[in-house]
Amino acid sequence: MGIGEERLYYANSYLWEFQGTVVDVRRDGEKWHVRLDASAFYPTSGGQPHDTGTLNDVPVIDVFTEDGAVFHTVTKPLSVGEHVVGHIDGKRRLDFMQQHCGQHILSRCFEDLMDVDTVGFHIGGEWVTIDLDVQSLSWSDVERVEWRANEVVWENRPVYARFVNPEELAHFSLRHPPKVTEDIRIVSIDGFDDNACGGTHPSATGAVGAIKVVKAESMKGKVRLSFVCGARALADFQRKTSVLREVGQALSTGVDELVLTVQKLQANAVSAQKQVEEAKEALAEATARELSAHATVLDNGTHVVLHALDGNLDFADLKRLGAKVREAFVEQVPACIGVVGVAGERLMVQLLSSAPSVHANEWFAASVVPLGGKGGGNRQAAQGSVPLSTEVTVQDVLQRLHSTLTKENPGL
């Protein structure tokens, strides 16, 4: 039995149903690897994934080759000698046929137009990739080659495959010599390309539908091109059109004006952010002045401020305020400042001290850490946060700060 008789897809890529006999079964835990005398199932090879389907209604979850033989992995046992009816998932296979034939066309166009070789090919779940033997590619070159590839699709050239012997092989000018020395199969796109290939292809290039490159990335001295063909190309185009429609509607602009509109929005956002920063800076300064004005001045001259900030703030706001308070009076007079504010689910605490008898970090450790707080600092400044809960409020934290301060520093 020649290899062509056993692998029915070689002669007919559209054979979704076939019959055969089980000739070998190998148990592998709860799986069985089954070999048939003839099969239309394509095994994972040459960049094309395996078919799925059923053998006598038992799902086929994997198809692979071992020493040239095709094994079908099933989840229920079949017995040697059993007659089987096989069904191939035609939708999955047609997808692979579109992608695989699209790859032959695209690779050949890169050879013809740019003298660039394809050195890798893989059909993935989403994209198909080829690795091109070139350092870099411009996107305009990609588009130029892509255009020619689609012309080949529109020309609807017949695609056919045949086995050749070494003498016949000599008549083909193949860019890549076949990887096998016997059962050499040539897939031809009429008048355009001959390629040694064991994969499945549609009967004419028109069935590829469309070829669309979606990404080109440089890696390890090569360029990896991701593309989609046929149904995948339409699905990709629909998805992207839908995104563009939504973005266009949200921005009240057409596709052609989209880039300019987004650039303007970005510029506006940068300027708005700058204004927000300026306003926050001014607010922090005003708050610092306010705190300074309301400080309790003790007999020893130490200024004490314990204050709860309004609204929701973030750590950057608190740090900004700390810097302003320091500038405003902590650096001028001995002072102990405790500021508390809500930031989402936490209470932020910032402590500043320029009073000789108050160590900010110790103050933090004695008053905030027992409430479940995390953070710390040094003699001059300490900051951190406490999880906000029904047991711990802003007032609780302020009270703790006050009592610790007076207990530890009775002279204050």
Phi, psi of 287 (to 5 degrees): -65, -40
Burial 295-324 (b: 16+ CB within 10 A, else e): beeeeeebbbbbbebeeebeeebbebbbbb
Determine the Cα–Cα distance for residues 13 and 2; give it in Å rounded to an integer. Answer: 18
Cβ neighbors of 156 (< 8 A, separation 6 or more) are 204, 205, 206
Part of the chain binding Zn ion (CB under 5 A), chosen from 192-200, 222-230, 338-346, 383-391: 192-200
Q: Is 267 left (phi over 0), alpha (psi -120 to 50) or beta?
A: alpha
Minimum distance between the CB of residue 123 and Zn ion, rounded to whole angstroms?
10
Task: Give, in order, the Cα–Cα distances in Å from 263 to each of 89, 139, 170, 268.
Answer: 47, 21, 58, 9
Tell me if 199 contacts Zn ion by CB under 5 A. yes
Minimum distance between the CB of residue 175 and Zn ion, rounded to whole angstroms?
12
Tell me if 189 contacts Zn ion by CB under 5 A. no
Minimum distance between the CB of residue 48 and Zn ion, rounded to whole angstroms?
7
Tell me if 202 contacts Zn ion by CB under 5 A. no
Part of the chain binding Zn ion (CB under 5 A), chosen from 76-84, 190-198, 234-242, 367-375: 190-198
Cβ neighbors of 313 (< 8 A, separation 6 or more) are 341, 342, 343, 348
Minimum distance between the CB of residue 207 and Zn ion, rounded to whole angstroms?
15
Site string for Zn ion, 144-183 (x = CB under 5 A): ----------------------------------------
CA of residue 123 relative to chain centroid, distance = 17
By rule CB under 5 A, what count of residues binds Zn ion? 2
Burial 130-156 (b: 16+ CB within 10 A, else e): bbbebeebeeebbeebbebbbebbeee
Minimum distance between the CB of residue 199 and Zn ion, rounded to whole angstroms?
4
* Residue number with CB closer to Zn ion (199 or 334): 199
Minimum distance between the CB of residue 96 and Zn ion, rounded to whole angstroms?
11
* Residue number with CB closer to Zn ion (36 or 101): 101
Tell me if 197 contacts Zn ion by CB under 5 A. yes
Part of the chain binding Zn ion (CB under 5 A), chosen from 189-197, 223-231, 259-267, 296-304: 189-197
Tell me if 334 contacts Zn ion by CB under 5 A. no
Residues that bind Zn ion (CB under 5 A): 197, 199
